[in-house]
């Protein structure tokens, strides 16, 4: 029996550093491990003893790509603990801020990190020589997203204007007006981006994922909803720990999440789309159909198309919020700290981001738990790798290696969030 090992020490175009070991014995993949060797970051421990007002700024430091997601899950959890709901224009502004993050994060991944895989380029700089217009489009989209975050968050990276109960300062209508001009152009670019990526050559593979995402009665989910799955799960976010658990594995400093009863599951764009297709505006559903994407997509390689559709959705949602905006009387609703436990769950660009805080009577943090999307997706990413490699066993190692790297990038993993690069090893026996 022949054994084979394929190894990529530092895989490119993912956020963070990790490795992959693929062991092949004869005609069987016996192990596919996504190794994460970045040191643990201990944010949950840092938060202990901190005042509730410090949390939003601290958790923003977990990620430079999706700080808004961390802030949103945190403030929702703290407001839940204090029995406060943030409604009306403040809620809309939070949704607008989140749209900014979806636009900039998805544009970065779709064009700069993922598209080169499908077009045979080593990176976006080389791709820019042949597809300069698309790279310029991506920069324009990213700029539009960043403009939203800069205006509402005070700065583009690690924003500082989010607080429990609302914001420190809210914008005037006049301040939002230039964003609308930029977003009008971004919306047109997003339509072109959907058509472009839908034409990429996708490997034919379908995975039987259990999709998990938030679902809201009326909206495509960003800030709130119930946690639902494609196999019947439908729970309040407070019941997360009754259905999900995290396990330590030797090859990763990020905990692996599982459904207690069924194992691996998938969060992120494919899951949101599958579970909330009916919450997308009709013309976006029509565009999806026009480019060949049905209401359910199980091909992980086509996640790039879903991300492009979500960029379009976020541009349109942002424009609608800006058009309806009337500055609220107060930038923040009043709240009284109390001893309580609060839960928050929002849809980060990469998927569901769940937070729990136990608070003392003065509102300081006694315990915190943060479950990021990449940690949740690790078991499914490993299962993807096994499936992808199994379908390519007769192929040269280079082909297996490239397809496995692409397979990981399908899920835009943010390894830094989960605990940075991928080290891919394939062992054949």
Partner 1 sequence: MNARIVLLALGNPERGDDGAGPAVAARLRGRLPAGVALRLCDGDLLGQIETWRDLEALVCVDASAPQGEPGRIRRLDPGADGLFRDISLTSSHGFGLAEALGLARTLGLAPPRVVVYALEGSRFTPGAPLSGAVAAALDGLAARLLDELVRLAAKAPARS
Using CB under 8 A as the criterion, what x/- string covers residues 397-426 for binding partner 1?
-------------------x---xx-----
Here the tokens at position 157 are 């990276």
Centroid of chain to Cα 417: 10
Per rule CB under 8 A, is residue 385 in the interface with partner 1? Answer: no
3-state secondary structure of 26: coil
Query: How many angstroms separate the first and last alpha carbons of the chain?
Result: 6
Shorter beta-carbon distance to partner 1: residue 116 or 344: 116
Q: Return the residue of 69, 93, 124, 197 that touches partner 1, per CB under 8 A.
A: 124
Question: Smallest gap, in angstroms, from Cβ of residue 60 to partner 1?
Answer: 13
Give, as one character, the DSSP assignment of residue 227.
E
Per rule CB under 8 A, is residue 142 in the interface with partner 1? Answer: yes
* CB contact set of 263 (below 8 Å; sequence gap of 6+): 379
Applying the rule CB under 8 A, the residues between 21 and 80 that interact with partner 1 are 64-65
Distance CA 32, CA 24 (A): 9
Distance CA 88, CA 91 (A): 5
Q: Return the residue of 68, 78, 81, 112 that touches partner 1, per CB under 8 A.
A: 112
Q: Which of these segments, 92-100, 120-128, 236-244, 276-284, binds partner 1 (CB under 8 A)?
A: 120-128
Question: Smallest gap, in angstroms, from Cβ of residue 157 to partner 1?
Answer: 4
Number of residues that bind partner 1 (CB under 8 A): 30
Q: Return the residue of 26, 49, 120, 122 that touches partner 1, per CB under 8 A.
A: 122
3-state secondary structure of 246: strand
Q: Which of these segments, 14-22, 198-206, 274-282, 400-408, binds partner 1 (CB under 8 A)?
A: 14-22
Distance CA 380, CA 258 (A): 10
Q: Return the residue of 32, 135, 212, 293 that touches partner 1, per CB under 8 A.
A: 135
Burial of 91 (0-12, 13-18, 19+ CB in 10 A): middle
Distance CA 401, CA 174 (A): 51
CA atoms within 13 A on the CB side of 155: 7
Question: Smallest gap, in angstroms, from Cβ of residue 112 to partner 1?
Answer: 6
Per rule CB under 8 A, is residue 126 in the interface with partner 1? Answer: yes
Nearest to 306 by CA among 200, 208, 404: 200
Per rule CB under 8 A, is residue 139 in the interface with partner 1? Answer: yes
Q: Which of these segments, 121-129, 275-283, 324-332, 394-402, binds partner 1 (CB under 8 A)?
A: 121-129
Per rule CB under 8 A, is residue 115 in the interface with partner 1? Answer: no
Per rule CB under 8 A, is residue 339 in the interface with partner 1? Answer: no
Q: Return the residue of 28, 48, 85, 136 that touches partner 1, per CB under 8 A.
A: 136
Q: Return the residue of 71, 89, 146, 380 that touches partner 1, per CB under 8 A.
A: 146
**Beta-ladder partners of 20:** 8, 424
CA dihedral 236, 240, 243, 248 (to 10 degrees): 170
Per rule CB under 8 A, is residue 132 in the interface with partner 1? Answer: yes
Q: Directed axis angle between helix 132-153 and helix 88-107, to 10°?
A: 150
Per rule CB under 8 A, is residue 13 in the interface with partner 1? Answer: yes
Shorter beta-carbon distance to partner 1: residue 196 or 421: 421
* CB contact set of 280 (below 8 Å; sequence gap of 6+): 220, 273, 288, 309, 313
Interacting residue ranges for partner 1, rule: CB under 8 A: 12-16, 64-65, 108, 112-113, 122-126, 128-129, 132, 135-136, 139-140, 142-143, 146, 156-157, 416, 420-421
């Amino acid at each position: 029996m022949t054994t084979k090992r394929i190894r990529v020490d530092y895989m490119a175009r993912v956020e963070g550093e990790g490795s992959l070991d693929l062991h092949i014995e004869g005609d069987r993949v016996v192990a596919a491990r996504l190794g994460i060797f970045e040191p643990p970051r201990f944010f949950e421990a840092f938060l202990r003893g901190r005042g509730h007002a410090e949390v939003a700024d601290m958790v923003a430091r977990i990620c430079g790509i999706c700080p808004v997601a961390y802030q949103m899950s945190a403030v929702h959890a703290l407001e839940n603990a204090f029995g406060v709901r943030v409604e009306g224009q403040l809620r809309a502004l939070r949704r607008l801020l989140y749209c900014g993050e979806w636009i900039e994060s998805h544009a970065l991944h779709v064009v700069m990190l993922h598209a080169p895989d499908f077009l045979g380029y080593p990176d976006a700089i080389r791709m820019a020589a042949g597809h300069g217009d698309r790279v310029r489009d991506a920069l324009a989209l990213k700029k539009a997203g960043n403009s939203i975050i800069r205006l509402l968050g005070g700065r583009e990276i690690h924003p500082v204007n989010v607080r429990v109960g609302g914001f420190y300062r809210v914008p005037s209508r006049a301040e939002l007006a230039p964003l609308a001009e930029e977003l009008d152009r971004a919306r047109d670019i997003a339509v072109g981006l959907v058509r472009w990526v839908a034409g990429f050559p996708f490997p034919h593979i379908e995975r039987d994922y259990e999709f998990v995402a938030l679902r809201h009665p009326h909206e495509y989910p960003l800030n709130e909803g119930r946690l639902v799955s494609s196999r019947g799960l439908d729970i309040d976010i407070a019941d997360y720990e009754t259905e999900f658990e995290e396990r330590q594995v030797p090859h990763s400093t990020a905990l692996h999440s599982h459904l207690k009863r069924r194992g691996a599951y998938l969060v992120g764009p494919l899951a949101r789309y599958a579970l909330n297709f009916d919450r997308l505006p009709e013309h976006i559903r029509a565009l999806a159909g026009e480019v060949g994407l049905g209401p359910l997509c199980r091909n992980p390689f086509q996640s790039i198309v879903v991300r492009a559709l979500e960029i379009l959705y976020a541009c349109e949602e942002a424009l609608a919020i800006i058009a309806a905006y009337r500055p609220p009387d107060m930038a923040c609703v009043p709240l009284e700290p109390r001893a309580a436990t609060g839960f928050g769950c929002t849809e980060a660009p990469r998927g569901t981001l769940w937070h729990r805080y136990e608070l003392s009577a003065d509102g300081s943090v006694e315990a915190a738990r943060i479950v990021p999307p990449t940690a949740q997706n690790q078991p499914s990413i490993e299962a993807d790798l096994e499936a992808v490699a199994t379908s390519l066993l007769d192929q040269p190692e280079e082909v297996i290696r490239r397809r496995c790297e692409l397979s990981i990038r399908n899920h835009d993993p943010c390894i830094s969030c989960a605990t940075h690069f991928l080290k891919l090893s394939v062992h054949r026996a």
